[in-house]
Amino acid sequence: MPSLPGGLPFPTTAAAARLLVPGLAAMVEATDRLGTVHVIGGADASATRFDPARTVHAAMVALGWPSLAALARAGAVTRGGLPYVPGLLGFREVPALAEAWPALHPKPDLVLVDGHGLAHPQGFGTACLLGLVLDVPAIGVAKSVLVGEVEGTLRDEPGARAPLVFKGRQVGIALRSRRGANPLYVSVGHRVSLDTALEWVTRCLRGRRLPEPTRAAHDAAGALRLSGMPALG
């Protein structure tokens, strides 16, 4: 059964999760502590907001670097966790993602997470929690803004970027991955700096809006949800 750092169980109520956030957020490392990347991972979870069973379909993928060729994927389905609570999405999704992790071989040296990292009201998004739980470098790659505003002008050309600022502090970067597409919002998850996070997301773009690791994880989570199978092989 997946657990939090220190062996603590995942909280079963939103109130309990909120009490844990400050201590966990203080453990997030926003500087580089990663080795050579040979395998890069993607993580995504799919759930219905008002599902009474609180079912989460989670998928993790492993891609070779620099080829970005698919090496492996694994999935898990959990039920009965936290309901959808704004600001606590990580506590809803990460138990399922962490359950999929042991079946993923080879293990990624770095994981791109479909979700926010430090660009979060409490500075503790899904990418932060997953990075802590798995003790792996992680990057948040979100498709919409959760907090803050984009400062300055974000040009409509691939590779254009602008700071994402919240309460006077930069919490992420808005990145135009493809001309005419809505931007991505890149932020630190764990054990990477913001500059390194942006560098890796940019490296993983292959002419599409999403970087290959999170695109592959999104597709795998959707396939898992449609098939109802607990693993993706």
Those residues with Cβ within 8 angstroms of residue 112's Cβ, 6 or more apart along the chain or in another chain: 40, 41, 42, 43, 138, 139, 141, 200, 201, 204, 211, 213, 214, 217
Topology of domain 29-227, CATH:
archaeoglobus fulgidus dsm 4304 fold (3.30.2170)
pLDDT bin (cut points 50, 70, 90) of residue 49 is: confident
Average pLDDT, the chain: 95
Q: What is the pLDDT of residue 229?
A: 52
Is the pLDDT at 48 greater than 60? The verdict is yes
pLDDT bin (cut points 50, 70, 90) of residue 228 is: low
| This prediction's pTM | 0.96
Select from 86, 82, 66 the least CA-distant residue to 16.
82
What size, in residues, is the chain? 233
